[in-house]
Amino acid sequence: TKGLAMATIAPFEEDTSASVASDSKPPLVVGDDSDGEQTAASTNSSVPSEKDATATPKQPTSASAFLSFPETEPKRFHTLQERAKVPPGIYLSNLLVVSFLYSSGFISNFSSNVVPGIWDSLSYVATDVQQKIGSYLDYFLNLKQTCFLPSNISWPWFQNIMVSALVVTVIGSIYYLLMVKPFRAGMWTGTRARRHRLHRYMGLLFLIQYSLAWYEFIANYEGSAKASYLPVTIALNGIIQATSAYFSFKVLPNLADAGFYSDKAVLSRFFVFENLFYQLLTLFGSLYYNDVLRSQLQSSKLGRGLEILFVFFPYALVRPWFPTTHFKDAGTSMSGRSKANERFYIVATSMVKFFYLW
């Protein structure tokens, strides 16, 4: 019960060591979570142990050290009011997002080019999916009549059917794992959906956008995917997701252990905040690999400056404004990974590293 109490009180604990004696009753600490619900827990003593004093470094307090992120949560945790403060990295990311969209012409051409382009991409995906599923079903109906390929069916037609089947299978599997199962678990419905609504439903939209963009990329890259605006909308949604997660889940601990791929530990708030930097890289990439947006970006001094910044110096000038976590530290805090699943963690983490580098 002591461990449960400490885990519950961690995000809300205040400095009471100066006013509570070691032989007094345990203090009752009350804090508000992100939805206004009160949480109460008690500790056996407010005096930090020697282990806590050596294992948890202090938070930087001077104004000159506001970009220094400690590797673990300090021994006296911040209140939710303090954790709700906006860090400089949030201001920087907002400034960069507005600068990207303005200099690339995404804002000025939103109604004339962006909206019609998004509509064309959605129309193509919907029409093509319908046609290919129909052709796929017709092909199997023909197989009922003969065990061989009908004479009027050419090899390119058969090849197209196989590619369509593969795309439908992959996207269907993704939808089942990331949408059907969460729907059945009440991720976007029921009482659980009343909390963190912005983060939940924008996450649902992100999955839909991601699937549509992948289908267009695979099925019609040379036609419409190269100039599609769907990747830009996905990147913008990612910015919203990272920002909303940072402010929605203020109770998450600040740990160097990202909590990524673990079955016992919780996600680190540093990892959530760090993701905002990578979303900025994604946004820049979605603009830079679009020929129309890139040419507009390169036509102004602001756009040229952003191009130089994110092509040559993103990790030198932008990265220090965000905390850093490492996959090598995953599962090192609170025994976050079960030994029985260690092989899965290693393979999954290696795949993420390979995908990112590739």
E strands present in 138-234: none
Question: Which one is predicted more confidently, 177 or 227?
Answer: 227
Could you read off the pLDDT of 154-198 as tens digits, one per residue?
Answer: 666 667 667 767 777 777 787 787 778 887 777 777 776 677 778
**CA–CA separation, 214 and 129 (whole Å):** 12
pLDDT of amino acid 273:
93
Q: Is the pTM of this model over 0.85?
A: no
Share of the chain above pLDDT 70, in %: 67
Contact 55, 334 (CB under 8 A): no
Q: Best-predicted range by mean pLDDT among 35-39, 118-122, 255-259?
A: 118-122
In this structure, what are the phi and psi dihedrals at residue 32, rounded to the nearest 5 degrees?
-95, 135
CA–CA gap between residue 84 and residue 34 (Å, rounded): 10
Please write the tens of the pLDDT for every residue from 331-342.
666 566 777 777
Mean pLDDT, range 260-281, rounded to an integer: 85
**Which amino acid is residue 349, in one-letter code?**
T
pLDDT at 142 over 80: no
Cα 330 to its chain centre, rounded Å, is: 17
Question: From the CB of residue 193, how many other CB atoms can be counted at a distance below 10 Å?
Answer: 13
User: Tell me, what's the pLDDT at 1?
Assistant: 39
The reported pLDDT for the residue numbered 143 is 59
Residues 280-296 have a mean pLDDT of 94
What is the C-alpha to C-alpha distance for residues 301 and 282, in angstroms, rounded to an integer? Answer: 21
pLDDT in tens, 242-252: 999 998 888 88
Positive or negative torsion for Cα 160, 161, 164, 169? negative
Q: For residue 253, what pLDDT band results from cuts at 50, 70 and 90?
A: confident
Q: What is the mean pLDDT of the chain?
A: 74
Contact 168, 132 (CB under 8 A): yes
- Comparing 336 with 266, which gets the higher pLDDT? 266
Does position 308 have pLDDT exceeding 90, yes or no?
yes
Q: Look at the alpha carbons of 134, 140, 142, 144 in this order and tell me if their dihedral is positive or negative.
A: negative
The neighbouring-strand residues paired with 39 are: 31
Higher pLDDT, 8 or 346: 346
pLDDT band at 102 (very low <50, low <70, confident <90, very high): very high
